[in-house]
Amino acid sequence: MIALEQLKIGESATIQTVMNQAPDMGQLLEMGLTPGTRVRLVKFAPLGDPLELEVRGYHLSIRCSEARSILVKRDLSQQVA
Amino acid sequence: MPETAECHHDLHTSGKQVIDVALVGNPNAGKTTVFNALTGLRQKVSNYPGVTVEKITGFLEDQPGSRIRIHDLPGLYSLVPKSLDDKIASDVISSRSDQVDNLRLTVVVADASNLNRNLYLLTQVVELGLPVLLALNMMDAARANGLQIDVAALTKKLNIKVVPLIANRGQGINELKDAIRHLVKQSGNHSPPAGILVDGALGQVVHPVTIWIKNHSQLSDEACRYEAVRVVSNDSAVENWRAIPHEHSQQGYTTLLAKVQEARQQIETNGSQWAMLETQLRYQWVDEICRDAVKQGTARQGLSEKLDRILTHKVAGPILFLLIFAFIFQSIFTWAQVPMDAIDGFVTWVGAHVGAALPGWILPDLKDLLVNGVIGGVGAILVFLPQILFLFFFLSLLEDTGYMARVAFIMDRFMRGTGLTGRSVIPLLSSFACAIPGIMATRTISNARNRLVTIMIAPLMSCSARLPVYALMIGAFIPQKSVLAIFSLPGLTLLGMYLLGILGAIGAATVFKWFMNKNTRPPTFVMELPPYRLPSLKWTLLQVTERAKIFVTDAGKIILAISIVLWFMAYYPRPSAGTLPSQAIKQSYAGQLGHFIEPTIKPLGFDWKMGVALITSFAAREVLVSTMATIYNVEGANETSQSLRDKLRSERDPETGQAVYTPLVSISLMVFFVFACQCMSTVAVVRRETNSWRWPMIMIIYMTSLAYVASFVVYQGSKLLGLG
């Protein structure tokens, strides 16, 4: 398990858990970042933070500090971005 | 729903009762397009009382006398409110708002191309017990994304009416109207929609909580199970039960807490997190629906992602962002100048003609009040209108295309230090043109605290009204010297003033953040990057005119009142005949006040004449120039007028015979203008946007103090160092 933030650009992964200490855990979950959901890291913003994810068929931006509290497992069969 | 007195009133006057229908949906689901199609763009914009959230209603376009009123509620992702907008929407459809009397139906507008997340809100809405209709918008976008949606399967699974739509092309709108008409008629006997399942092992775990809720409320069995799930997963949901009176039962709030604790422990033992229970259940249900009703074919590579390769690119992204905004500001400064001059000329023309047309028997005082106080005051409002319209037009376009979210994405990191997020960037940038549209643009900031901080610091951005002041002072007192061969001293001074304002804003934001930190949620940045879409010009223009109307009527009243007060102070007491205008201003109340505050502003290097200018320029910063012109009795002066500059340069202290204006005094005055809240329009808009006098008062006090301290430090500091 790694933090979502540690994914490489274009990599997909499956969410394992969202840690309790995330200040906006409820909001992250409501936006669809629930355990078992597949996410893809699309890119980082020009200044390196926040980042852009693809989740449940749409694009979502969260800060790296928030992404740090989301633990994921890399997908074994990586799609080529 | 209990009928209110107003409802009965409607019943009598129109013969038909007004039926309310709420329109809810995620942001970017095309809710407003659906609303416009249903109501034929005939909307009524007002405010929810006590808050600045716009209340948008319109009657269903129908046979004459239709009494189905549609409420376009702010977009939201969840009924658990995050912002003021969310709270309003959530209250209306939960029947907690007294603003909607007779709610019979909730229409959930969902983006079919993003069905999964859009259905999350639906799972919450169906639990409220009202009839629900699902308007499945953007079916074309879904098809383009390779999604095949089986509407029949969706209807069956959800047990509610589902209407597929392509709202921006008008497809499906008639079917939607029919469905709304049909559903509001048969209210009361609808079969309940399908919601999340609270059964099996989970039902067992939350059962004690369910029973407690059952014993302490009149909720249905179903509703009790839903509430139990909410309470177990959410502390603030537990908190809501604290206020319920428990006198008829020994099992009070503490019992509930114990039962909740027990349920949570059991969930943890089973290897799950209790805080995720509710959301996970909902998404499980959503996933199940989508499994049955949605088939994912091969998707075309998203156009939006391709566009974003350039627009949010590491290098090209920020450059394009700067270019786009340079273009917008340029248009505000140059294109808006033509209508602004026209309005200015028109107001002067009207003033002159009204003055000339008034019969001789009218008191000269009244005439002057009319021409300079009222017409001049109205002119002060109208002259800002072109800039506001231009800015709102462009901002509205950028918002509707989806680019605004990218701006926030690009700039978020930059804003971090101030405690703000990327969402504050647009209002602050707009404030360089004028703080008024900037402050009005803060409505897109969902976090209430961040919105307030942004409003409070927006006037520190050097707006276009400060330019005449800077131009006059720099032109008169800053020598044309070149610095490092390519820069000029006047140019650098001007840049310095802008930078000083930005620094002040960063400092103020940090202080406000610190003060407001106590009982508000910390700002977070969780933001959808919606797909790029073509904006609708018609809708954009409609929005711009609505905003303009609100500005003229609401802020206009206050501006007019203050103008009249300022006029009075500069006009009375009347001097004897033959007195020079410069003498008259000295004897006026404003002049007396100038003398009165002279000891206070002396440490900043200002004399009483500047005091008068400071007082009158509270109306608007550029008034400083015309006031100075009046005081120094220079006819027809403007900021580049050589004669006013010469007058200022040659002004001597009557006692010491030394020059009143030195480069240092001019810098001190400019620094004062960088920070001072010299704009009653801003005060009026802040009053409107925060709905209290508290924040505008705090703004005046903090900005004036900041201005005073900064000028004091600049003037006295330089004196101490032997400069100037």
Q: What is the ipTM of this complex?
A: 0.93
In this complex, do A29 and B279 lie within 8 Å of one another by their Cβ atoms? yes
Chain A interface disruption, residue of B409, B416, B447, B517, most A CBs within 10 A: B409
Inter-chain contact B526–A28, Cβ cutoff 8 Å?
Answer: yes
List B271's β-bridge partners, or say none: none
User: Which domains does chain B possess?
Assistant: 5-185 (3.40.50.300), 200-296 (1.10.287), 316-465+497-516 (no CATH), 546-720 (no CATH)
Interface list for chain A against chain B, based on CB atoms closer than 8 Å? 17-18, 20, 23-32, 34-35, 37, 42-43, 45-50, 52, 56-63, 66
pLDDT of the residue at B655: 75
Distance CA B539, CA B397 (A): 10
A-chain CB neighbours of B416 within 8 Å are 49
Percentage of chain B lying above the pLDDT 70 cut: 88
Integer Cα distance of B40 and B60 in angstroms: 8
pLDDT at B4 over 50: no
* Chain B residues touching residue A51 (CB < 8 angstroms): none
- Cβ contact, residue pair B80, A46, below 8 Å: no
Q: Please identify which residue in the block is written with the tokens 């089973």.
A: B270
Please say whether the beta carbons of B138 and B112 come within 8 A. Answer: yes
Phi-psi category of residue B28: left, alpha or beta, with phi > 0 → left and psi -120 to 50 → alpha: left
The DSSP line for B290-345 is HHHHEEE-PPPPPHHHHHHHHHT-TTHHHHHHHHHHHHHHHHHHTTTHHHHHHHHH
Distances (CA, A) of B560 to A27, B46, B342, B548, B632: 44, 22, 20, 16, 26
What phi-psi label fits residue B109: left (phi over 0), alpha (psi between -120 and 50 degrees) or beta? Answer: beta
DSSP letter, residue B274: G
How far is the alpha carbon of A76 from chain B, nearest alpha carbon, in Å? Answer: 21
- Chain B residues close to A32, C-beta within 8 Å: 116-117, 120, 283
* Closest by Cα among B97, B118, B114, B119 to B22: B97
pLDDT for B427 beyond 90: no
Name the more confident of B14 and B357.
B357
The pLDDT of residue B249: 54
Facing B280 at nearest CB: one of A34, A47, A50: A34
pLDDT tens string B373-384: 778 777 766 777
Instruction: Choose the weakest-confidence range: A15-24, B71-80, B220-229, B586-595.
Output: A15-24
Which of B116, B308, B412 is nearest residue A56 as measured by Cβ atoms? B116
Residue A80 has pLDDT above 60, yes or no: no
B275·A47 Cβ contact <8 A: no
Is B180:B37 a contact under the CB 8 Å cutoff?
no
Q: Which residue of B has its CA nearest to A60?
A: B528
Instruction: Mutation target for A interface from B76, B114, B276, B281: give the one with most A CBs within 10 A.
Output: B276
- The verdict on a CB contact (< 8 Å) between B529 and A23 is no
Measured from the Cβ of residue B24, the count of other Cβ atoms closer than 10 Å reads: 27
pLDDT digits (tens, 9 = 90+) for B532-588: 988 888 878 887 887 778 777 766 776 777 778 878 887 888 877 777 766 777 788
Fold of A2-74: SH3 type barrels. (2.30.30)
Q: What is the pLDDT of residues B285-328, one digit of tens each?
A: 999 999 989 888 766 667 888 899 999 999 999 999 888 877 87
Q: Would you say the C-alpha torsion B451, B453, B455, B458 has a positive or negative sign?
A: negative
Residue B39 pLDDT > 80? yes
pTM of the model: 0.80
Q: Tokens representing B548?
A: 């303009």
Element (H, E) at B497: helix B489-516
Chain A residue with the nearest C-alpha to that of B83: A27
Q: Measured between alpha carbons, how far is B618 from B607 in angstroms, rounded to an integer?
A: 17
The residues with which A40 forms a beta bridge, in sequence order, are A12, A54
